[in-house]
Amino acid sequence: MTTELNTLTPPCDQMNAGALIGRPDLSDDVLLDALRVRLKTRRQSQQDAEAVLAAAMNADPAALDLMRTIPVPAPVAHLSMPTQRITGKPQRWSMLIPEIRVSWDRG
């Protein structure tokens, strides 16, 4: 049985806090800053940010829910996209009327 690995999830021994929210490209310092901003908006102590991050790393559901609401910066890594054709195949349309035949090419 083979399983397909998620390319965004690092191996467990290299997992950082950013991987908890699907952004392994973010460092723990960036997440702590964003977590402090979220705690400030909730009128909670900003010094609790390290404790919340540690609890989230230990899979605490409440801490993980809070981590998923923090404002994080946009990704800076370039996304690789395969080249795709954006126009469809030419289509031939026709309409048959008993006396008149109308036909045209579209595309």
DSSP one-letter string for 30-95: HHHHHHHHHHHHTT--GGGHHHHHHHHHTT-HHHHHHHTTS--PPP-SPPP------S---EEEEE
pTM for the full model?
Answer: 0.55
- Any domain includes 17: yes
State what percent of residues in the chain have pLDDT above 90: 3
- Any domain includes 53: yes
> Which residue has better confidence, 60 or 16?
60
- Any domain includes 100: no
- Any domain includes 32: yes
- Any domain includes 106: no
pLDDT, position 97: 63
- Any domain includes 44: yes
| Domain total in the chain | 1
Confidence band of 79 (pLDDT split at 50, 70, 90): low
Assign residue 26 a region (left: φ > 0; alpha: ψ between -120 and 50; beta: otherwise). beta
Query: Containing domain of residue 43, as a range?
Result: 1-74
pLDDT, position 24: 84
| Mean pLDDT for the chain overall | 76
